[in-house]
Amino acid sequence: MAGPEDTETPGRRTPEASTTALTGALDAIGTAGYVVDEEGHVIAVNARAEELLLRPAAELLGRDAHDLLHRDSHGHPLPRSRCSMRQAFHDGRTAQGEEDYFECGDGSLLPVSWLITPYDVGGGETGTLVLVHARQPHATAQRTAMWTGPLPELERLALLAETTTQLASTLDVEEALSRLVSLVVPRLADWVVVDLITERDEVWRAAVVHAEGDALVRHEDLQGPMPPVPEESPMPLSRALRGVASTLAGPRTYQREPDSGIAVEQRRLFEATGISSAAIAPIRSPRAVLGALTVGRSGEPGEFTTADLPLIEDIARRAGLALDNARLYQRQRKVAETMQNHLLPQLPGVPDLQMTARYLPAPDASQVGGDWYDAFSLSDGATALAVGDVVGHDLEAAAGMAQVRNMLRAYAWAHQEPPSRIVDRLDEAVMHITDVTMATLILARIEADEAGDWQLSWTNAGHPPPLLISRDGLAHYLTDGHGLLLGTGVRRPRTDATAPLPPGSTLVLYTDGLIEAPGHSLDDGLQRLRRHAAALAHRPLASFTDQLLRRVRPDANDDDVALLAVRVPTRT
């Protein structure tokens, strides 16, 4: 294992008391192991590692573990760039490898599998624990060796830590299930089955996966809807789906006369998979039973025992928390999106004007809700255009957005005044009769004179500037008429700006989610939008809008986007 540099550095000396304590902890593990410091030098080693590697502790301590031990399949020193352990070591994460080689003290080459995980070495310092197993010639024999008894305590803790990290870092149900499967097989079993209870209290067999060598094969023919959970059945899966207990099971468990439809499906599962031993645990959240986790082994030896159940239960419990969070997230996101979509208006039909609008929710539900667009006819015959962004998140922002939009409509219809005066009225009202803290906004009027020439007048309250693209692809931002955003409490006169809209030109109003991206300046986003809008000027308006979103919206976008595009007619 290598440290941050590619040249060997002398190992740091670890206090003797610390080394003794680490060695004592390693000796209690029950498998070969050693600990390295932040530079990759061995600072403690147990007797099992000495025996496995045919090297005394004195030969290992203080040495760079990568340089001393790691070899390729031909016995040559392994380049650091090809060392899979090295990357995980630098990332400070738990990882494992199945097909690597160590050089023993007698010069022989030892095929090994390994597991590494961050480890507290005391004194406020963090090292890395390395557990090493001699690898058998065949994957089946290797897996059998792993299954001969419960995992040693440190391996168990490492697996649970990795489970927590992997499952807690996603809020997507399908991704959480995929990660759960990868954590369980083939480390604990060669089959994994996940049954989930849907929000309508129906059971769905969401995953049946088999480890075949290095590949995980999904058996979709065994997945799908399941019969309802029986209320009194003593059968293992039925009990787990009721949240009663974890249980061991085998083919003979379901050879008796089935007492429910679920028992029939379980018999089919055991017959189709050849599982000879299984452990079944409920997947619970703090609020409800979400399903059941079944791990199965289809070979001999390696049957599950009651000593394996606590680990399976711990994994299922962590899976329950992750799945519950993912479901809550998706439910919240759906509510926010539904509310937002219902609040966004239908565009009016205006003779000669083409209009189209798009709203894209944020990937993160906590960001959905504040962006909006609007277009409506005014009492004097002009058409009002608006786009804005209410500061806040989720339903709170969506509700604030609805308040601002409706108040703006009322003021604009009732008062035949310039946009700046309408926004002044709105700003004063927002601070007194809404819960909106701050918001940005563009309000514009678009109308044609008697000669058929189209004119735009607008005011900008702290919002990204509109973009005007000519029929020939000349694009520029309308930067005049800029003033303070709403809700600051500062009373300064707002200004209006006017600009002619050339025949066939396209006006784009948008929110900042279209142009902002982590690690990039706002100018970068504005330049990207201008360049792509100019290139798409010849497209029909609907195609122009869709392509603009696809090309410009950053991949790392974590905000929602509202976009309103208007095209004036060409001269006949």
Query: Looking at residues 118-134, what average pLDDT do you find?
Result: 82
Phi and psi at residue 257, in whole multiples of 5°?
A: -60, 125
Q: For the chain, percent helix, then strand, then coil, each to nearest 5? A: 35, 25, 35
Q: How far apart are CA 280 and CA 227, in angstroms?
A: 18
Q: Which residues contact 415 (CB under 8 A, 6 or more apart)?
A: 421, 422, 425
For the cut 80, the answer to whether the pLDDT of residue 484 exceeds it is: yes
Q: Which residues contact 364 (CB under 8 A, 6 or more apart)?
A: 558
Query: Looking at residues 367-371, what average pLDDT do you find?
Result: 65
Q: What is the pLDDT of residue 145?
A: 36
Helix 522-535 vs helix 541-552: crossing angle, to nearest 10? 150
With CA atoms as reference, report the closest residue to 568 among 363, 414, 408, 383: 383
**Model confidence band, residue 13 (pLDDT cutoffs 50, 70, 90):** very low
Q: How far apart are CA 45 and CA 122, in angstroms?
A: 16
Q: What is the pLDDT of residue 336?
A: 65
Q: How far apart are CA 399 and CA 107, in angstroms?
A: 72
Q: Which three-class secondary structure string do you get for 432-467?
A: HHCCCCCEEEEEEEEEECCCCCEEEEEEEECCCCCE
**Model confidence band, residue 9 (pLDDT cutoffs 50, 70, 90):** very low
pLDDT in tens, 519-569: 788 999 999 999 999 999 999 999 999 999 999 987 656 678 999 999 999
Q: What is the pLDDT of residue 365?
A: 47
**Model confidence band, residue 60 (pLDDT cutoffs 50, 70, 90):** very high
Out of 122-136, 362-376, 458-472, least confident range: 362-376
For the cut 50, the answer to whether the pLDDT of residue 364 exceeds it is: yes
Q: What is the pLDDT of residue 157?
A: 76
Q: What is the pLDDT of residue 89?
A: 83
For the cut 70, the answer to whether the pLDDT of residue 3 exceeds it is: no
pLDDT in tens, 139-183: 333 333 345 456 666 677 777 777 887 787 777 888 888 889 888
Model pTM score? 0.50
What are the Cα distances from residue 514, in Å, to 289, 357, 545? 41, 13, 12
Neighbouring CB atoms inside 10 A of 33's CB total: 26
Q: What is the pLDDT of residue 556?
A: 57
**Model confidence band, residue 8 (pLDDT cutoffs 50, 70, 90):** very low
Query: Looking at residues 222-228, what average pLDDT do you find?
Result: 94
Q: Which two tokens stand for residue 245?
A: 């207990």
pLDDT in tens, 238-272: 999 999 889 999 888 988 888 999 999 999 999 99
Percent of the chain past pLDDT 70, that is, above it, reads 87
